Amino acid sequence: MELKRVVVTGLGALTPVGNTVEETWNSLLNGKSGAGPITHFDASLFKTQFACEVKNFNVTDYIDRKEARKMDLYTQYAVAAAKQAVEDAGINVETEDLDRVGVIYGVGIGGIHTFEEEVGNYYCNKEKGPRFNPFFIPKMIADIASGQISIMYGFRGPNFTTTSACASSSNAISDAFNYIRLGKANIIVAGGAEAAVSESGVGGFNAMHALSTRNESPETASRPFSKSRDGFVMAEGAGCLILEELEHAKARGAKIYAELVGAGLSADAHHLTASHPEGLGAINVMKYALEDAGMKPEDIDYINVHGTSTPVGDISEVKAIKALFGEHAYKLNISSTKSMTGHLLGAAGAVEALASVLAVKNDIVPPTINHEEGDEDEQIDYNLNFTFNKAQKRTVNAALSNTFGFGGHNACVIFKKYSE
Protein backbone atom coordinates (compact mmCIF):
# COMPACT_ATOMS: atom_id res chain seq x y z
CA MET A 1 0.00 0.00 0.00
CA GLU A 2 1.35 3.37 -1.00
CA LEU A 3 1.20 5.86 1.88
CA LYS A 4 -0.27 9.31 1.28
CA ARG A 5 1.83 12.42 1.82
CA VAL A 6 0.83 14.74 4.66
CA VAL A 7 1.30 18.51 4.75
CA VAL A 8 0.64 21.33 7.22
CA THR A 9 -1.91 23.80 5.85
CA GLY A 10 -2.95 25.77 8.93
CA LEU A 11 -1.60 26.88 12.31
CA GLY A 12 -3.10 28.21 15.53
CA ALA A 13 -1.47 29.31 18.78
CA LEU A 14 -2.49 30.66 22.17
CA THR A 15 0.63 30.80 24.31
CA PRO A 16 2.27 32.72 27.16
CA VAL A 17 4.20 34.76 24.58
CA GLY A 18 1.37 35.50 22.14
CA ASN A 19 -2.31 34.99 21.48
CA THR A 20 -1.80 34.31 17.77
CA VAL A 21 0.73 32.45 15.65
CA GLU A 22 2.32 35.70 14.49
CA GLU A 23 2.66 37.09 18.02
CA THR A 24 4.04 33.81 19.33
CA TRP A 25 6.57 33.43 16.51
CA ASN A 26 7.80 37.04 16.80
CA SER A 27 8.21 36.62 20.55
CA LEU A 28 10.21 33.43 20.07
CA LEU A 29 12.51 35.04 17.53
CA ASN A 30 13.05 38.02 19.84
CA GLY A 31 13.77 35.89 22.90
CA LYS A 32 10.80 37.10 24.93
CA SER A 33 10.01 35.28 28.15
CA GLY A 34 6.37 34.61 29.05
CA ALA A 35 7.08 34.09 32.77
CA GLY A 36 5.69 36.28 35.54
CA PRO A 37 3.91 36.19 38.91
CA ILE A 38 0.94 33.81 39.06
CA THR A 39 -2.40 35.62 38.70
CA HIS A 40 -4.81 32.66 38.61
CA PHE A 41 -4.63 32.27 42.40
CA ASP A 42 -2.80 33.60 45.46
CA ALA A 43 0.56 31.81 45.28
CA SER A 44 2.23 33.69 48.13
CA LEU A 45 2.52 30.56 50.31
CA PHE A 46 3.79 28.31 47.51
CA LYS A 47 7.45 27.47 46.88
CA THR A 48 6.96 28.57 43.27
CA GLN A 49 5.06 31.82 42.83
CA PHE A 50 5.39 32.33 39.08
CA ALA A 51 4.41 30.65 35.83
CA CYS A 52 4.03 31.29 32.11
CA GLU A 53 0.35 32.25 31.87
CA VAL A 54 -1.69 33.21 28.81
CA LYS A 55 -2.30 36.98 28.90
CA ASN A 56 -5.35 39.04 27.95
CA PHE A 57 -7.35 36.04 26.76
CA ASN A 58 -10.96 36.84 25.90
CA VAL A 59 -12.89 33.68 25.17
CA THR A 60 -15.72 35.62 23.51
CA ASP A 61 -13.34 36.42 20.67
CA TYR A 62 -13.86 32.77 19.70
CA ILE A 63 -17.19 31.53 21.10
CA ASP A 64 -20.17 33.07 22.86
CA ARG A 65 -20.18 33.38 26.64
CA LYS A 66 -22.99 30.86 27.12
CA GLU A 67 -21.01 28.10 25.41
CA ALA A 68 -17.82 29.12 27.20
CA ARG A 69 -19.46 28.56 30.59
CA LYS A 70 -19.77 24.87 29.66
CA MET A 71 -16.01 24.60 29.12
CA ASP A 72 -13.02 24.35 31.43
CA LEU A 73 -10.24 26.84 30.70
CA TYR A 74 -8.16 24.18 28.92
CA THR A 75 -11.03 23.51 26.49
CA GLN A 76 -11.45 27.23 25.87
CA TYR A 77 -7.75 27.39 24.97
CA ALA A 78 -8.10 24.34 22.72
CA VAL A 79 -11.07 25.80 20.85
CA ALA A 80 -9.30 29.14 20.39
CA ALA A 81 -6.19 27.61 18.82
CA ALA A 82 -8.26 25.28 16.65
CA LYS A 83 -10.41 28.12 15.36
CA GLN A 84 -7.32 30.09 14.40
CA ALA A 85 -5.89 27.07 12.56
CA VAL A 86 -9.11 26.20 10.72
CA GLU A 87 -9.44 29.80 9.52
CA ASP A 88 -5.76 29.93 8.55
CA ALA A 89 -6.18 26.77 6.48
CA GLY A 90 -9.26 28.16 4.74
CA ILE A 91 -11.37 25.06 5.41
CA ASN A 92 -14.86 25.55 3.99
CA VAL A 93 -17.36 23.50 6.01
CA GLU A 94 -20.00 24.06 3.31
CA THR A 95 -18.04 22.25 0.61
CA GLU A 96 -15.79 19.87 2.60
CA ASP A 97 -16.68 16.21 3.16
CA LEU A 98 -16.99 16.51 6.95
CA ASP A 99 -17.01 12.73 7.39
CA ARG A 100 -13.33 12.85 6.41
CA VAL A 101 -12.27 15.69 8.70
CA GLY A 102 -11.12 14.63 12.17
CA VAL A 103 -9.90 16.11 15.43
CA ILE A 104 -7.13 14.59 17.55
CA TYR A 105 -6.03 16.68 20.51
CA GLY A 106 -3.59 15.94 23.30
CA VAL A 107 -3.82 16.93 26.97
CA GLY A 108 -1.81 15.83 29.97
CA ILE A 109 -4.16 16.74 32.80
CA GLY A 110 -7.43 18.19 31.50
CA GLY A 111 -10.03 20.14 33.45
CA ILE A 112 -8.16 20.63 36.70
CA HIS A 113 -9.71 24.07 37.37
CA THR A 114 -13.19 22.57 37.18
CA PHE A 115 -12.19 19.64 39.38
CA GLU A 116 -10.74 21.93 42.06
CA GLU A 117 -13.77 24.20 42.04
CA GLU A 118 -16.41 21.48 42.16
CA VAL A 119 -14.73 19.28 44.74
CA GLY A 120 -13.87 22.33 46.84
CA ASN A 121 -17.48 23.49 46.78
CA TYR A 122 -18.64 20.01 47.75
CA TYR A 123 -16.40 19.77 50.81
CA CYS A 124 -17.20 23.32 51.89
CA ASN A 125 -20.93 22.57 51.79
CA LYS A 126 -20.88 18.86 52.56
CA GLU A 127 -23.53 19.10 55.25
CA LYS A 128 -26.06 20.16 52.59
CA GLY A 129 -25.57 16.94 50.67
CA PRO A 130 -23.85 16.23 47.32
CA ARG A 131 -24.39 19.21 45.06
CA PHE A 132 -22.47 19.33 41.79
CA ASN A 133 -22.80 21.40 38.65
CA PRO A 134 -24.39 19.28 35.87
CA PHE A 135 -21.49 20.34 33.64
CA PHE A 136 -18.87 19.13 36.16
CA ILE A 137 -17.98 15.91 34.31
CA PRO A 138 -18.32 17.22 30.71
CA LYS A 139 -16.09 20.18 31.62
CA MET A 140 -13.47 18.10 33.43
CA ILE A 141 -12.86 15.02 31.29
CA ALA A 142 -9.75 15.02 29.15
CA ASP A 143 -11.40 14.05 25.86
CA ILE A 144 -13.89 16.90 25.78
CA ALA A 145 -11.72 19.44 23.93
CA SER A 146 -11.59 17.33 20.77
CA GLY A 147 -15.33 16.73 21.12
CA GLN A 148 -16.09 20.44 21.43
CA ILE A 149 -14.01 21.29 18.37
CA SER A 150 -15.79 18.67 16.27
CA ILE A 151 -19.19 19.89 17.47
CA MET A 152 -18.29 23.50 16.64
CA TYR A 153 -17.60 22.63 12.99
CA GLY A 154 -19.48 19.38 12.43
CA PHE A 155 -16.26 17.40 11.81
CA ARG A 156 -17.27 13.73 11.85
CA GLY A 157 -13.97 11.99 11.13
CA PRO A 158 -11.62 10.32 13.64
CA ASN A 159 -12.02 12.04 17.00
CA PHE A 160 -10.17 11.29 20.23
CA THR A 161 -7.68 12.55 22.77
CA THR A 162 -4.13 11.38 23.44
CA THR A 163 -2.79 11.48 26.99
CA SER A 164 0.89 10.71 27.54
CA ALA A 165 1.90 13.52 29.90
CA CYS A 166 4.23 16.00 28.19
CA ALA A 167 4.29 13.94 24.98
CA SER A 168 0.50 14.10 24.58
CA SER A 169 0.15 16.52 21.68
CA SER A 170 3.12 15.06 19.79
CA ASN A 171 1.25 11.76 20.08
CA ALA A 172 -1.82 13.51 18.67
CA ILE A 173 0.19 14.78 15.70
CA SER A 174 1.70 11.32 15.17
CA ASP A 175 -1.71 9.64 15.23
CA ALA A 176 -3.20 12.23 12.87
CA PHE A 177 -0.26 11.72 10.50
CA ASN A 178 -0.89 7.98 10.39
CA TYR A 179 -4.66 8.25 9.89
CA ILE A 180 -4.17 10.57 6.92
CA ARG A 181 -1.37 8.70 5.22
CA LEU A 182 -3.34 5.46 5.55
CA GLY A 183 -6.22 7.14 3.71
CA LYS A 184 -8.65 7.23 6.64
CA ALA A 185 -9.10 11.03 6.62
CA ASN A 186 -8.42 14.01 4.36
CA ILE A 187 -7.85 16.57 7.10
CA ILE A 188 -7.21 16.31 10.83
CA VAL A 189 -7.16 19.17 13.33
CA ALA A 190 -4.25 18.08 15.52
CA GLY A 191 -2.86 19.78 18.58
CA GLY A 192 -2.94 20.07 22.32
CA ALA A 193 -4.10 22.26 25.17
CA GLU A 194 -3.39 22.58 28.88
CA ALA A 195 -4.45 24.89 31.72
CA ALA A 196 -2.84 23.45 34.84
CA VAL A 197 -1.56 26.64 36.47
CA SER A 198 -3.73 26.01 39.51
CA GLU A 199 -3.24 25.43 43.21
CA SER A 200 -3.14 21.65 42.93
CA GLY A 201 -1.10 21.77 39.72
CA VAL A 202 1.62 24.02 41.09
CA GLY A 203 1.45 22.47 44.55
CA GLY A 204 1.75 18.95 43.16
CA PHE A 205 4.75 19.70 40.97
CA ASN A 206 6.35 21.63 43.87
CA ALA A 207 5.98 18.54 46.05
CA MET A 208 7.99 16.62 43.44
CA HIS A 209 10.70 19.32 43.40
CA ALA A 210 10.11 19.58 39.63
CA LEU A 211 9.56 23.36 39.38
CA SER A 212 12.02 26.22 39.43
CA THR A 213 11.79 28.36 42.57
CA ARG A 214 13.57 31.38 41.11
CA ASN A 215 10.83 33.69 42.43
CA GLU A 216 13.07 36.75 42.42
CA SER A 217 13.58 36.54 38.65
CA PRO A 218 10.79 34.57 36.91
CA GLU A 219 11.74 35.67 33.40
CA THR A 220 15.16 34.01 33.74
CA ALA A 221 13.95 30.87 35.52
CA SER A 222 13.64 28.63 32.46
CA ARG A 223 17.30 28.20 31.54
CA PRO A 224 17.84 24.93 29.67
CA PHE A 225 21.41 23.61 29.50
CA SER A 226 22.72 26.12 32.04
CA LYS A 227 24.37 24.86 35.21
CA SER A 228 22.10 26.96 37.45
CA ARG A 229 18.88 25.42 36.08
CA ASP A 230 16.65 24.30 38.95
CA GLY A 231 13.48 22.93 37.35
CA PHE A 232 10.88 23.73 34.73
CA VAL A 233 8.46 26.65 34.60
CA MET A 234 4.76 25.73 34.47
CA ALA A 235 2.90 27.08 31.46
CA GLU A 236 -0.52 26.98 29.86
CA GLY A 237 -2.05 27.48 26.43
CA ALA A 238 -2.67 25.58 23.20
CA GLY A 239 -1.22 24.87 19.79
CA CYS A 240 -2.88 23.49 16.67
CA LEU A 241 -1.80 22.21 13.26
CA ILE A 242 -4.07 21.41 10.34
CA LEU A 243 -2.67 18.24 8.79
CA GLU A 244 -3.92 17.41 5.32
CA GLU A 245 -3.42 14.83 2.60
CA LEU A 246 -1.26 16.45 -0.06
CA GLU A 247 -3.45 15.89 -3.12
CA HIS A 248 -6.51 17.09 -1.21
CA ALA A 249 -4.64 20.25 -0.20
CA LYS A 250 -3.48 20.90 -3.76
CA ALA A 251 -6.96 20.34 -5.17
CA ARG A 252 -8.43 23.07 -2.99
CA GLY A 253 -5.49 25.44 -3.49
CA ALA A 254 -4.37 25.41 0.14
CA LYS A 255 -1.13 27.07 1.19
CA ILE A 256 1.44 24.61 2.47
CA TYR A 257 3.77 25.46 5.37
CA ALA A 258 5.78 22.23 5.43
CA GLU A 259 5.50 18.48 5.00
CA LEU A 260 5.24 16.10 7.96
CA VAL A 261 7.43 13.18 6.97
CA GLY A 262 8.11 11.06 10.05
CA ALA A 263 6.99 10.22 13.57
CA GLY A 264 8.44 8.00 16.24
CA LEU A 265 7.30 6.70 19.62
CA SER A 266 9.24 4.92 22.35
CA ALA A 267 9.35 4.26 26.08
CA ASP A 268 12.22 4.74 28.52
CA ALA A 269 10.88 1.86 30.67
CA HIS A 270 13.12 3.27 33.38
CA HIS A 271 11.53 5.52 36.03
CA LEU A 272 8.26 7.16 37.00
CA THR A 273 9.43 10.72 36.34
CA ALA A 274 13.13 10.71 35.38
CA SER A 275 14.40 10.14 31.87
CA HIS A 276 16.93 7.37 31.26
CA PRO A 277 20.33 8.79 32.30
CA GLU A 278 21.95 7.73 29.01
CA GLY A 279 18.98 8.85 26.93
CA LEU A 280 18.21 5.38 25.58
CA GLY A 281 14.50 6.09 25.03
CA ALA A 282 15.33 9.43 23.42
CA ILE A 283 17.84 7.77 21.07
CA ASN A 284 15.23 5.24 20.01
CA VAL A 285 12.43 7.71 19.42
CA MET A 286 14.58 9.95 17.19
CA LYS A 287 15.92 6.89 15.34
CA TYR A 288 12.38 5.59 14.76
CA ALA A 289 11.21 8.97 13.44
CA LEU A 290 14.16 9.15 11.04
CA GLU A 291 13.50 5.63 9.81
CA ASP A 292 9.83 6.44 9.34
CA ALA A 293 10.78 9.47 7.27
CA GLY A 294 13.36 7.55 5.23
CA MET A 295 15.98 10.04 6.37
CA LYS A 296 19.50 9.90 7.78
CA PRO A 297 20.71 11.87 10.82
CA GLU A 298 22.68 14.21 8.56
CA ASP A 299 19.44 15.25 6.83
CA ILE A 300 18.31 17.14 9.95
CA ASP A 301 19.24 20.81 10.36
CA TYR A 302 17.40 21.79 13.55
CA ILE A 303 16.22 20.00 16.68
CA ASN A 304 13.58 21.64 18.85
CA VAL A 305 14.54 19.77 21.99
CA HIS A 306 12.39 18.80 24.96
CA GLY A 307 14.83 20.92 27.00
CA THR A 308 12.79 21.54 30.14
CA SER A 309 15.54 23.09 32.28
CA THR A 310 15.69 20.18 34.71
CA PRO A 311 19.05 18.98 36.05
CA VAL A 312 18.75 15.38 34.83
CA GLY A 313 16.59 15.73 31.71
CA ASP A 314 18.76 18.21 29.85
CA ILE A 315 21.87 16.07 30.26
CA SER A 316 20.24 12.86 29.04
CA GLU A 317 18.81 14.56 25.94
CA VAL A 318 22.22 15.95 24.99
CA LYS A 319 23.72 12.47 25.40
CA ALA A 320 21.02 11.05 23.14
CA ILE A 321 21.63 13.64 20.41
CA LYS A 322 25.39 13.02 20.45
CA ALA A 323 24.93 9.26 20.42
CA LEU A 324 22.55 9.22 17.44
CA PHE A 325 23.87 12.10 15.34
CA GLY A 326 27.59 11.59 15.90
CA GLU A 327 29.73 14.26 14.25
CA HIS A 328 26.67 15.75 12.57
CA ALA A 329 25.46 16.82 16.02
CA TYR A 330 27.98 19.68 15.84
CA LYS A 331 26.44 20.94 12.58
CA LEU A 332 22.92 21.10 14.01
CA ASN A 333 21.12 24.01 15.55
CA ILE A 334 19.53 22.96 18.82
CA SER A 335 17.14 25.10 20.82
CA SER A 336 14.58 24.90 23.59
CA THR A 337 11.64 27.22 23.06
CA LYS A 338 10.53 26.25 26.59
CA SER A 339 13.09 28.81 27.74
CA MET A 340 10.51 31.37 26.55
CA THR A 341 7.11 29.68 26.65
CA GLY A 342 7.71 27.60 29.76
CA HIS A 343 6.51 24.01 29.80
CA LEU A 344 2.97 23.66 28.44
CA LEU A 345 2.79 20.01 29.56
CA GLY A 346 0.26 18.25 27.29
CA ALA A 347 0.28 21.20 24.87
CA ALA A 348 4.07 21.43 24.63
CA GLY A 349 4.44 19.16 21.62
CA ALA A 350 1.93 21.09 19.52
CA VAL A 351 3.46 24.51 20.26
CA GLU A 352 6.97 23.19 19.62
CA ALA A 353 5.89 21.46 16.41
CA LEU A 354 4.48 24.80 15.30
CA ALA A 355 7.83 26.47 16.05
CA SER A 356 9.61 23.74 14.09
CA VAL A 357 7.30 24.20 11.09
CA LEU A 358 7.95 27.95 11.08
CA ALA A 359 11.70 27.39 11.38
CA VAL A 360 11.52 25.24 8.25
CA LYS A 361 9.33 27.73 6.41
CA ASN A 362 11.36 30.83 7.34
CA ASP A 363 14.92 29.45 7.58
CA ILE A 364 15.52 30.81 11.05
CA VAL A 365 16.00 29.04 14.40
CA PRO A 366 14.53 30.54 17.58
CA PRO A 367 16.95 30.80 20.50
CA THR A 368 17.45 29.16 23.87
CA ILE A 369 17.39 32.17 26.17
CA ASN A 370 18.74 32.84 29.68
CA HIS A 371 22.20 31.33 29.23
CA GLU A 372 24.95 33.38 30.83
CA GLU A 373 28.68 33.16 30.29
CA GLY A 374 30.27 31.07 33.01
CA ASP A 375 27.06 29.15 33.69
CA GLU A 376 28.29 25.92 32.09
CA ASP A 377 27.56 22.41 33.32
CA GLU A 378 30.57 20.12 33.03
CA GLN A 379 28.27 17.28 31.91
CA ILE A 380 27.04 19.19 28.83
CA ASP A 381 29.07 19.57 25.63
CA TYR A 382 28.99 23.28 24.78
CA ASN A 383 30.62 22.66 21.41
CA LEU A 384 27.08 21.87 20.31
CA ASN A 385 25.15 24.86 18.97
CA PHE A 386 22.36 25.48 21.49
CA THR A 387 21.41 28.73 19.70
CA PHE A 388 21.94 30.61 22.95
CA ASN A 389 20.18 33.94 23.43
CA LYS A 390 19.79 34.99 19.79
CA ALA A 391 17.88 33.56 16.83
CA GLN A 392 20.09 32.29 14.01
CA LYS A 393 19.37 32.39 10.31
CA ARG A 394 20.28 29.25 8.42
CA THR A 395 18.79 26.92 5.85
CA VAL A 396 16.40 24.59 7.65
CA ASN A 397 15.40 21.88 5.23
CA ALA A 398 14.28 19.56 8.02
CA ALA A 399 13.47 20.00 11.70
CA LEU A 400 12.93 17.38 14.38
CA SER A 401 10.87 18.02 17.51
CA ASN A 402 11.23 15.99 20.72
CA THR A 403 8.78 15.60 23.61
CA PHE A 404 9.24 13.32 26.60
CA GLY A 405 6.65 12.68 29.31
CA PHE A 406 6.45 11.37 32.86
CA GLY A 407 6.11 7.60 32.72
CA GLY A 408 8.84 7.41 30.08
CA HIS A 409 6.63 8.34 27.11
CA ASN A 410 8.67 9.68 24.18
CA ALA A 411 7.39 11.15 20.91
CA CYS A 412 9.23 12.71 17.99
CA VAL A 413 8.01 14.31 14.76
CA ILE A 414 9.93 15.51 11.70
CA PHE A 415 8.96 18.31 9.31
CA LYS A 416 10.73 19.26 6.09
CA LYS A 417 10.34 21.79 3.31
CA TYR A 418 7.59 20.85 0.91
CA SER A 419 8.50 20.18 -2.71
CA GLU A 420 6.85 18.29 -5.54
Q: How many independent structural domains does the chain possess?
A: 1
Residue 351 lies in a domain: yes
Specify which residues 262 forms β-bridges with.
Answer: 414
Task: Look up 124 and say whether it is catalytic.
Answer: no
Return d(Cα 290, Cα 262) in angstroms, integer. Answer: 6
User: Does 61 reside within a domain?
Assistant: yes
Quick one: which of 312, 307, 306 has its CA closest to 274?
312
Contact status, residue 81 vs residue 103, Cβ threshold 8 Å: no
- Considering 248, 343, 371, 409, which one is annotated as catalytic? 343
Which listed residue (248, 306, 371, 409) is catalytic? Answer: 306
Residue 393, domain member (yes or no): yes
Question: What's the domain range around 121?
Answer: 7-416
Q: Which helix (H) or strand (E) holds 9?
A: strand 6-14
The pLDDT, as a whole number, for residue 214 is 98
Annotated active-site residue 343? The verdict is yes
Sign of CA dihedral 337, 338, 342, 346: positive
| Residue 88 CB contacts under 8 Å (≥ 6 apart), including other chains | 10, 11, 12, 21, 242
Task: Tell me if residue 52 is catalytic.
Answer: no
DSSP state for residue 125 in the 8-state scheme: T
> What pLDDT score does 123 carry?
85
Q: Is residue 48 part of a domain?
A: yes
In contact, 176 and 192? CB cutoff 8 Å: no
Residues 340, 343, 348, 349, Cα dihedral to 10° = 90
Residues in the chain: 420
Predicted confidence at residue 125, as pLDDT, reads: 82
User: SS3 sequence, 194-259?
Assistant: ECCCCHHHHHHHHHCCCECCCCCCHHHCCCCCCCCCCCECEECEEEEEEEEEHHHHHHCCCCCCEE
Q: How far apart are CA 300 and CA 194, in angstroms?
A: 29
CATH code of the domain in which 369 resides: 3.40.47.10
Average pLDDT, 10 consecutive residues per value, the chain (420 residues): 95 98 98 98 98 97 95 98 98 97 98 93 82 92 97 98 98 98 98 98 97 98 98 98 98 98 96 88 98 98 97 96 98 98 98 98 98 96 98 98 96 96
* Dist. CA 198–CA 113, nearest whole Å: 7
Q: Please check whether residue 2 lies inside any domain of the structure.
A: no
pLDDT given for residue 43 in this prediction = 98
Query: By C-alpha distance, which of 304, 300, 263, 285 is closest to 397?
Result: 300
Which residue is catalytic, options 52, 166, 240, 412?
166
Report the predicted TM-score, pTM, of the whole model to 2 decimal places. 0.97
* pLDDT for 294: 98
